[in-house]
Amino acid sequence: MRIAITGASGNAGTALLRNLQGHLAHKPGSLQLVGISRRLPDTSREPYSGVEWHALDVGLDQDRPALEKALEGVDSVVHLAWQIQPNRNLELLHRTNVTGTKNVLDAAAKMGVKQVVCASSVGAYSKADKDQRRDESWPASGMAGSHYSRHKAEQEKLLDQFAAAEPEISVARLRPALIFQGKAGSEIGRYFLGNIFPRLVPRKPWVPLLPAPDNLIFQAVHADDVAEAYWRVVDQRASGAFNIASEPVLTPQELARILGAKRILPIPMRLLHAIVDLTWRARIQPTDSGWVEMAAGAPIMDTSRAQRILGWEPRVSSVDAVKELLAGMGTGKGVKPSPVLKPRRP
């Protein structure tokens, strides 16, 4: 089986390569791996070694011939390429995220790829109350105030159109919760907090008082568990949408336990939204307020379909995934061979 991965040097891509390399170790020659990335990693280092690499930008028209060549003879393409920064340049993000998805789909159809597996997100869903779990039938229409959510919703429409136009191609999409791993600590800290604030995160975070909105309720999942879900979709040539998240659901109370906080100070979500917006506009930190809107509105997902059809079960709890991320963020942990996951400089 020949598998191509776009965004193969990123957070989920690196975890998927680790997973696939593990399968290769047990059955040498059973898989041929193709990595596609804007910036190539050190291909002499694991898990990037033993992979046929192509340096290209999926969102650029001039790179479409190179993309088609990279997909030549491929059985399954796992499309992970996505850009969330710089979120002040929405035209650039749309080109990578939405146009890039269309380019991958067009190239897959032209080159006779048998399966397309796409990285969607819990952020693709429309706003929902947190009082019940939603399965994959909940509308994936996005939330207007979040560019990430809007782009994911546009991506979902492209997948729907592609599946209708190409019935012989199996089309699957994973909608994971927030994806954490310790080795992405430096990257996630840099993307969401900037270059300074992650350095203030202690190796063992401790917050005596946690200010948090009551409805700051969300899900998380470890990157290795997401990678296993991708592998199961590819291995079974599954199609359709799959919610992917670990337990427990993260609440202010769970976060307080993780951070060792003795008390929670309830604050209105609109106040958090205003603070994030103000600090973003002042260029104090790089995260716009759309992320707060998405966190407030994203549904709590029901993952029973992935369990039933794929036989998927998370091995790492959401609590442990958060702890691992915070430890990685505090130490500036990363993956040296990857330009995306590079460790923070001392």
Structure tokens belonging to residue 340 = 């995306």
223, amino acid identity: A
Instruction: Give a three-class secondary structure readout of the chain.
Output: CEEEEECCCCHHHHHHHHHHHHHHHHCCCCCEEEEEECCCCCCCCCCCCCCEEEECCCCCHHHHHHHHHHCCCCCEEEECCCCCCCCCCHHHHHHHHHHHHHHHHHHHHHCCCCEEEEECCHHHCCCCCCCCEECCCCCCCCCCCCHHHHHHHHHHHHHHHHHHHCCCCEEEEEEECEEECHHHHHHHHHHHHCCCHHHHCCCCCCCCEEEECCCCCECEEEHHHHHHHHHHHHHHCCCEEEEECCCCCECHHHHHHHHCCCEEEECCHHHHHHHHHHHHHCCCCCCCCHHHHHHHHCCEECCHHHHHHHCCCCCCCHHHHHHHHHHHHHHCCCCCCCCCCCCCCC
Residue 261 has pLDDT above 80, yes or no: yes
Hey, how many other C-beta atoms are within 10 angstroms of the C-beta on 182? 20
Residue 201 has pLDDT above 80, yes or no: no
Which domains, and CATH codes, for the chain? Answer: 2-178+222-245+300-315 (3.40.50.720)
67/191: higher pLDDT = 67
Residue 80 has pLDDT above 90, yes or no: yes
- Cβ within 8 Å of residue 206, ≥6 positions away: 259, 260
CA distance 199 to 195: 8
List pLDDT tens digits, range 275-314.
Answer: 999 999 999 999 999 999 999 999 999 999 999 999 999 9
CA 60 → CA 11, 31, 56, 152, 275, distances in Å? 22, 29, 8, 19, 35
Strand partners, 179: 221
The per-residue pLDDT for 176 is: 98
Residue 93 has pLDDT above 80, yes or no: yes
Q: How confident is the model at residue 234 (pLDDT cuts 50, 70, 90)?
A: very high
Strand partners, 240: 172
Structure tokens belonging to residue 192 = 């969401």
Strand partners, 211: 265
Residue 206 has pLDDT above 90, yes or no: no
CA distance 326 to 270: 25
Threshold 0.75, pTM exceeds = yes
List pLDDT tens digits, range 6-45.
Answer: 999 999 999 999 999 998 877 777 899 999 999 999 999 9
The per-residue pLDDT for 330 is: 87
Q: How confident is the model at residue 88 (pLDDT cuts 50, 70, 90)?
A: very high
The per-residue pLDDT for 14 is: 96
Q: Which of 214, 224, 212 is nearest to 321 (CA)?
A: 224
CA 206 → CA 38, 188, 202, 325, distances in Å? 38, 19, 8, 14
Structure tokens belonging to residue 233 = 């979709």
Residue 203 has pLDDT above 90, yes or no: no
The per-residue pLDDT for 32 is: 95
Q: How confident is the model at residue 197 (pLDDT cuts 50, 70, 90)?
A: confident
Hey, how many other C-beta atoms are within 10 angstroms of the C-beta on 176? 27
Residue 107 has pLDDT above 90, yes or no: yes
- Cβ within 8 Å of residue 317, ≥6 positions away: 246, 247, 248
Q: How confident is the model at residue 74 (pLDDT cuts 50, 70, 90)?
A: very high
**What is the average per-residue pLDDT within 99-122?**
98
Residue 195 has pLDDT above 90, yes or no: no
